[in-house]
Amino acid sequence: MNRLISVSTLDDIAPEYQNTPIGLMLEYHNLNRPLDIYTQAHLLIGMCMDNRKRLRIPDNFAYIIRSGGGNLSQSEFKVSYAIAVGGVSSIALVGHNNCGMVGLAAKKEKFISGLVKKTGWEKGRAEEHFMRFAPSFEIRNEIDFVLSEAKRLRLLYPGIQVAPILYRVEDNLLYMVREQEKS
């Protein structure tokens, strides 16, 4: 089943996201909508720290929290701040394909040897560091993760619109993620 919904026209944007900050983000990035001028953020974007992704959005339009895999589980205070003080009403959770957090366990030796070589850490310290944090950031599947994280954030912040989005690194476009199977 294809879970990605392409956005190449205004009509492709799901009705619940049209005329919202999430819809505007899709318009700016995918449809080359001219960049408007903003004096305050309207959106919080949670996305991966991966260097291959860059969004085309106006200055001051969104708060952006970057973390491994777009995992906001240790950033709740920052999310709460963006909502309570920053005034955002929507969260776009932007995962991406080919994420380095997928299959993290298989990268254990490279992680450890890289820390030892580049930082001078002892191997035991690097291994303990990996074992302590890797389970919190491991992602089995980018689409399933972005869906589960969106669900978690909706439960935590009822009344805030949360959209699961996937960025495809091959074409640099954003895709809405279908949350339910088509009948």
Report the pLDDT value the prediction gives residue 181, as an integer from 0 to 100.
Answer: 57
List the chain pLDDT tens, one digit each, 183 residues: 488 999 999 999 999 999 999 999 999 999 999 999 999 999 999 998 888 888 999 999 999 999 888 888 889 999 999 999 999 999 999 988 877 788 888 899 999 999 999 999 999 999 999 999 888 888 888 999 999 999 999 999 999 999 999 999 899 999 999 987 554
On whether 96 is known to bind a ligand per the annotation, the reply is: yes
Report the pLDDT value the prediction gives residue 50, as an integer from 0 to 100.
Answer: 83
User: Residues of 59-80 as b/e, b for ≥16 C-beta within 10 angstroms?
Assistant: eebbbbbebbbbbbeebeebbe
User: Taking Cα atoms as reference points, which of 43, 61, 64 lies closest to residue 53?
Assistant: 64
Q: How far apart are CA 176 and CA 183, in angstroms?
A: 18
Report the pLDDT value the prediction gives residue 49, as an integer from 0 to 100.
Answer: 86
Domain ranges of the chain: 4-99+141-177, 103-138
**In the CATH hierarchy, which fold is given to the domain comprising 4-99+141-177?**
Beta-carbonic Anhydrase; Chain A (3.40.1050)
On whether 42 is known to bind a ligand per the annotation, the reply is: no
CA max distance for the chain:
55
